[in-house]
Amino acid sequence: MFNMYIIQAHAGNLTEWERATSVVQAARLVLVRENPTPDAQVTALAPTTHGWLTACQSPLQARMTDRSAWAATVAVSCATPRWTIYVPFTFTLWRPVVLAADFLRAGAVIKHQDLTVRRELISAETGPVCFSEGSVVGKVLNANVNTGAKIDPQNLVAPEIIHQGQQVTLEARFGNVRIRAEGIALNDGRLGSTLLVRNTESGKVVTGIVQLDGKVLLTPGKS
């Protein structure tokens, strides 16, 4: 009789803990509603609730507190008893990724036939990749790329379209007015790079930015 009383007393003091699955489910509902990339594969880092998170006596409330391209954090709260726990999620996506169709050497100007595109599962750990051939063709590699390897955009530079000693056209813009002059490039220049040019007429050295058409747009305050 005494032993039965002890067992009943302990049973009456058992604490019911919130289930981790319930917390994750509440958090997922927010992602379904607010996720701008519905095709993403979502993985939750399930929280530990047993032993410290008392079972909620009211409906769980959830809100997204942080969102990036590859991750999100959802806060799940209970009003009675009052507590909040944060559930992190990571995303993986199937995307077309640009790969090298053959071994490519550093310094090579990339052509369409050098590339292939394949759908791959990417995540935050994938690193920088290119998603379209248009962003790669015509660029120059500054590192070797093995066959089948992803093209890293950090290894791409614009080709040199102006070379030292080349005659170039200088252009200054003032609203709708454009003034042009001829000059000699004092260094090599890629698209968007800074170029030193000696004005053929005045002999003055000016600074400009290399344009796609090969002209050099004078930099305000640097001429």
Residue 100 scores a pLDDT above 80: yes
What stretch(es) of the chain map to CATH 3.90.1210.10? 93-157
* pLDDT value of residue 5: 32
Burial zone of 92 (CB within 10 Å; 0-12 exposed, 13-18 middle, 19+ buried):
middle
The CATH number of 160-218 is: 2.30.30.760
Task: Show contacts of 34-38: CB within 8 Å, 24+ apart.
Answer: 34/64, 34/67, 35/72, 37/91, 37/93
CATH topology assigned to domain 93-157 = Type Iii Antifreeze Protein Isoform Hplc 12 (3.90.1210)
Range list of H helices, the chain: 2-12, 20-34
Mean pLDDT score, 18-28: 95
Mean pLDDT over each residue of the chain, to the nearest integer: 88
Q: Band the pLDDT of 28: cuts 50, 70, 90.
A: very high
* pLDDT value of residue 222: 55
Q: Band the pLDDT of 58: cuts 50, 70, 90.
A: very high
* pLDDT value of residue 36: 62
- pLDDT cut 70: percent of the chain above it: 91
- pLDDT cut 90: percent of the chain above it: 67
Distances (CA, A) of 193 to 204, 210, 217: 20, 6, 11
What stretch(es) of the chain map to CATH 2.30.30.760? 160-218
* pLDDT value of residue 221: 58
Q: How much is the pTM?
A: 0.61
Residues in the chain: 223
How is 28-56 classified by DSSP, letter by letter? HHHHHHH-S-TT-EEEE-PPP-TTTSBPP
**pLDDT tens digits for range 203-215:** 999 999 998 888 9
Residue with tokens 């959830």: 62
Q: Band the pLDDT of 9: cuts 50, 70, 90.
A: very low
Residue with tokens 């919130």: 18
Q: Which of 32-41, 154-163, 170-179 has the lowest mean pLDDT?
A: 32-41
The answer to whether the peptide bond before residue 88 is cis (omega within 30 degrees of 0) is no
